[in-house]
Amino acid sequence: MKNLICAVRAGLLALCLCAASAHASVVIGGTRVVFPAKNGEVTVRLSNLGSSPALVEAWIDSGDVHSTPDKVDVPFIVTPPLFRMEANRDQSLRIIGTPSQLPADRESLFWLNVLEVPPKPTGLEAEGKNTLQFAIRSRLKLFYRPANLAGDPLKAPASITWKVVADGKGFALEARNPTPYYVTFTNVSISVNGTTYAAETGMVAPQGSLQLPVKGLAQAPANGTSIDYTAINDYGASAALKGAISP
């Protein structure tokens, strides 16, 4: 029986990975979760905006997009882990932390998964019809934030410093993050001689660096060249910032 459940769950996850265009009825309140260590737990609100009930399964992983609830090993408990959610109703997920061995001087990154399985059509709705249903998985970043970290997380994006480096195919912007907080970029561009070049986007780890290739940039710009970038804060809002190339 256990093997059958695992096989069904793997099949549902495979479907949800290829169903990006499907519409989710169960919506998560927010685009990220910040877990302050001093609180011990956080609550995430779910809303079923559809006209039918749904089966919902929730779990946390440490970065594997193919994770399943039975194979993850993280210092968090999600409750309830599996439940039926009625149409036009809300449900709160409690995330309880037991992070005894995580770094105390910087944030740690995890992912909250919410898998929605719609009900099978019955009665006149399904009579004489072929139907195709998808299980839809939403996956949000979860930042574990130790107590007493230095600095203000809302000011962390403004602390990023920038360099230009050769990356083998051209040039890239290297973002250096001196803060203990993760910083996520949604737009990065550099202006050289009146021309704006877009860089790739991504997330730079605490006290780490990240190279963002710049398409079409044929030569390294001078120190002091302007950089425009947009970062996402704790509340999911965008903050437009300016930087400059440093030596």
Give the DSSP letter string of 45-78: EEEE-SSS-EEEEEEEESS-TT--TTT---SEEE
pLDDT of residue 118: 84
Please name the amino acid found at residue 27. Answer: V
| 153-244 classified as CATH 2.60.40.10 | yes
CATH topology of domain 2-145: Immunoglobulin-like (2.60.40)
Q: Do domains 2-145 and 153-244 have the same CATH topology?
A: yes
Residue with tokens 């804060």: 233
Domain segments of the chain as ranges: 2-145, 153-244
Q: What is the pLDDT along the chain (247 residues), one digit of tens a residue?
A: 444 344 444 444 444 444 444 568 999 999 999 999 999 999 999 999 999 999 999 999 999 999 999 989 999 999 999 999 999 999 999 999 988 889 999 999 999 999 999 877 665 655 666 666 778 999 999 999 999 999 999 999 999 999 999 988 899 999 999 999 999 999 999 999 889 999 999 999 999 999 999 999 988 999 999 999 999 999 999 999 999 999 8
pLDDT of residue 123: 59
Angle at 110 (CA atoms; ends 106, 112), nearest 5 degrees: 145
pLDDT of residue 143: 98
Give the DSSP letter string of 17-48: HT-TTSPPSEEESSSEEEEEGGGSEEEEEEEE
